[in-house]
Structure 1
Amino acid sequence: MPYAVDFVNVSTVGLESSPVAEALAGLRANEARYYKNKYDHVFTVTPAAEAPQVLEWVTRILAEERDIAIASPALEVTSFEVDGLRMAYVFYESGLSINVMYGLEDGKKRAVGFKLSQGMEVPEELSTRFKFARQKSKLAGEIRGSFFVIKGEY
């Protein structure tokens, strides 16, 4: 069942099985606030099992672009279009959030972003490939993030 993420009253709904559920909920709320403020978009997530095509698209890009397979189970996903961009997010049980920003027109920005919830270790599959920058968030505490540019067509 879809869930509109509330960034005023942060909830762990759908993320309870994560060992860093509160931090992951804050990270998810941080994303929801960004899209509401910038695009007036309501950030709505769905259990990963109910939208397998979103998880498959993100998984395919990770595998084909960088030979990355995420070990942690996916809990929630979302996919939407704003301002000529197709966006997809996957929130994992480990506390990892992956987003794909895919410009619909040739020459537009296309990238994969990784964000780590406060309190989680860098997943082994990412630790040797990426350096993570730190940023502060009122909703999520400290977020560590990294990204790579997508070269292929998806």
Structure 2
Amino acid sequence: MAYIVDFKTVSTQGVESSPVADALAGLRANEARYFKNKYDYVFTVEPASAAPSALDWVSRILAAERDIVIASRPLEATMFEVENLRIAYVFYESGLSINVMYSLDDTKKRAVGFKLSEGMDAPAELSAFKFARQKSKLAGTIRGSYFVIKGEY
């Protein structure tokens, strides 16, 4: 069942099994606030098992571009289009969030982003990346990194 992420009242619904559930819920709410403010889009997620196309697309890009396979269990996912961008998010039990922002008309505006919830260690499969820190009222300290997508997906 789809769940509208409320960034005013942060809830751990759907991510309760994460050891950093509060921080992951805050990270998810932070993303919801971004999309509401920038695109007036209501950020909705669903259980990962109900979003195979989003999971497959993100996994395929990670594997093809950087030979990355995420070890943590996916909890929630979403995929949508806004202003000619195809966007997918996967939230993992470890506290990791992966997003793909894929411009449909500009090959220079395609990237995969990684965000680590406060309190989690960087997963081994992302050890090649350097993470910058960002403060968030909703999520505490978020560490993030990204890479540019070169292929067509």
TM-score of the aligned structures, taking structure 2 as reference length: 0.99
Cα distance in 2 between the residues matched to 1:7 and 1:106: 30
Aligned to 2:138: 139
| CA deviation after TM superposition for structure 1 residue 106, in Å | 3.9
Aligned to 1:25: 25
Q: Secondary structure at the match of 2:86?
A: strand
| CA deviation after TM superposition for structure 1 residue 108, in Å | 4.5
Cα distance in 1 between the residues matched to 2:129 and 2:108: 23
TM-score of the aligned structures, taking structure 1 as reference length: 0.98
Aligned to 2:13: 13
Cα distance in 2 between the residues matched to 1:66 and 1:141: 29
Structure 1: gaps spanning 5 or more residues:
none
Q: How many residues align?
A: 153
Cα distance in 1 between the residues matched to 2:15 and 2:132: 24
Report the residue type matching 1:146 in the other structure: S
Cα distance in 2 between the residues matched to 1:31 and 1:43: 8
Q: Secondary structure at the match of 2:71?
A: coil
Q: Secondary structure at the match of 2:80?
A: strand
| CA deviation after TM superposition for structure 1 residue 92, in Å | 0.2
CA-based RMSD of the aligned residues comes to 0.7
Cα distance in 2 between the residues matched to 1:108 and 1:66: 18
Cα distance in 2 between the residues matched to 1:50 and 1:11: 20
Q: Secondary structure at the match of 2:29?
A: helix
Per-residue CA shift, 1:42-84, capped at 9, x if unaligned?
0000100011111000000000000000000000001111111
Cα distance in 2 between the residues matched to 1:83 and 1:122: 32
Which aligned segments of 4 or more residues in structure 1 are displaced greater than 6 angstroms?
A: none
Report the residue type matching 1:21 in the other structure: A
Aligned to 2:113: 113
Cα distance in 2 between the residues matched to 1:39 and 1:136: 22
Report the residue type matching 1:118 in the other structure: E
% identical equivalent positions: 77
Cα distance in 2 between the residues matched to 1:35 and 1:144: 19
Q: Residue 80 in 1 paired to residue 80 in 2?
A: yes
Aligned to 2:104: 104
Cα distance in 1 between the residues matched to 2:33 and 2:76: 17
Cα distance in 1 between the residues matched to 2:109 and 2:85: 8
